[in-house]
Amino acid sequence: MNATVPLAVDLSPRRLRLQWPEGSAELPATALRAACRCGPCRARALRGEPAADDAVELIHAEPVGRYALQLIFSDGHDRGIYPWTLLQALSV
């Protein structure tokens, strides 16, 4: 299944705004940090540990091909790859 690519991506410290063909969505930085699927974050979630505190902010977003974004957070975390399919699911 091919993911829809957003028409626009706007990053601010507290949120990521995505303009999809069917509408827009704002995803809070804390929710995105908690949704990280990298190995260390998955292990932390399985242990029941929080991903980050409520003060975490988005620093940068880097495209990964045409299928995802790599998000960099103020707590130094930069390993998360967020496919468009995941970001669409989080947008609902």
User: H or E element: which one contains 15?
Assistant: strand 15-20
Say what the pLDDT of residue 1 is.
47
Running DSSP on this structure, what letter comes out for residue 87?
H
DSSP secondary structure letters along 31-80: HHHHT--SHHHHHHHHTT--SS-TT--EEEEEEETTTEEEEEETTS----
pLDDT in tens, 48-90: 998 778 899 999 999 999 999 999 999 999 998 999 999 999 9
Tokens of 61: 């977003």
pLDDT in tens, 10-34: 999 999 999 999 899 999 999 999 9
Instruction: Inform me whether the pLDDT recorded for 3 exceeds 80.
Output: no
Q: Which domains does the chain have, with CATH numbers?
A: 8-91 (3.30.2020.30)
